[in-house]
Amino acid sequence: MKTVTFLYKYGHPDVDVVPVGHREYRRFEPVTIRDDEYMTWIKSAWGYRFDVSESLVTDVIPSEIEYSPALAEGDITAIIPQFKTPVLTYRAVNSFKTFYPDVPLIVVDDGSQDASTALVRGLPECYPATSVIILPKNVGHGAALHEGIKRAMTRRVFTMDSDVTVHRGGFLELMESRMIEADLYAIGMMYWRDYQHENVYLTYVASLYDREVYFTLPPFVHDGDPMQQNMDMAAVYYLRVECFPITDYVTHDEAGTRSRLDPAGRAWDFTGGKG
């Protein structure tokens, strides 16, 4: 089963009821559907868009999961790459450590060579269980993440963008418990990729991965979409990934490197090229 929330009918933002097939669904009210229904909806919902700023589809209902904070201790390393975003990076690190002071954190400076590099160097003195990697040149977001994953010593790695702010704890425990129960490769923020690929896409924005499985797949890279090759091969191997309502716990401002270098940002298309 999956939970889907319709945000609006494309071209008609003021319509409160979204018709799909022979049924109608109210905006902003999550509905539970079968997996096969979801696939049918996505392929036929050319007149609708979903808000990518929140979890579009989730297999997890947090209120129904019992978790222990101890689950996240000792088995997870968080990794935050940054490139010339000192204010955002400080906010991301500070917010994460506010809720998870003892979870190991690796901050990777991707060849910034500016004031943000100095900030990163000083983080271990301010926050416990924090280490840094200073790359001599810019290798790109995905490759920087890969360096952090190589340095981690835990079974799981939680990847987090420097423009993400944590405002509520408990998500690492829930994600970890879900991975143990469901034998997943990864869980976190997920988008429908596009009509051609016909598979979902787990992003590195705020997601938890099985580090051992990661090393059996193509690594995150610099060129293009850093996770494309990794996700494509995971699909070939039928490795399971799952969406988690992470935006109940964190805020993704999308104000980092991508926004500065590409002011238009990236438009995630859920219309199959028909919208």
pLDDT score for 161: 93
pLDDT score for 55: 33
Mean pLDDT, rounded, for 222-230: 77
pLDDT score for 180: 82
pLDDT score for 275: 30
Report whether 43 contacts 234 (CB < 8 A).
Answer: no
Mean pLDDT, rounded, for 188-198: 60
Residue 36: how many other CB atoms lie within 10 Å: 8
Mean per-residue pLDDT over the chain, rounded? 75
- If one compares 66 and 238, the residue with the highest pLDDT of the two is 238
| pLDDT above 60 (res 20) | no
**Which run of H or E residues covers position 6?**
none
Q: How confident is the model at residue 182 (pLDDT cuts 50, 70, 90)?
A: confident
pLDDT tens-place string over residues 234-258: 888 888 888 888 888 998 876 555 4
pLDDT score for 23: 62
- Which range has the worst mean pLDDT, 30-44, 135-149, 182-196, 203-217? 30-44
Measured in whole angstroms, the distance separating CA 74 from the mean position of its chain's CA atoms is: 21
User: How many C-alpha atoms does 265 have within 13 Å on its Cβ side?
Assistant: 10
Torsion angle of alpha carbons 84, 89, 90, 93, nearest 10°? -150
Report whether 163 contacts 85 (CB < 8 A).
Answer: yes
Burial of 236 (0-12, 13-18, 19+ CB in 10 A): exposed
Residues linked to residue 32 through DSSP beta bridges, in sequence order: 3
Helix 115-126 / helix 86-99 crossing angle, nearest 10 deg: 20
Q: How confident is the model at residue 191 (pLDDT cuts 50, 70, 90)?
A: low
pLDDT score for 248: 84
Angstrom distance (rounded) from CA 209 to CA 205:
12
Query: Is the pTM above the cut of 0.75?
Result: no
The pairs formed by 23-30 with CB atoms below 8 angstroms and a separation of 24 or more are 29/5, 30/3, 30/4, 30/5
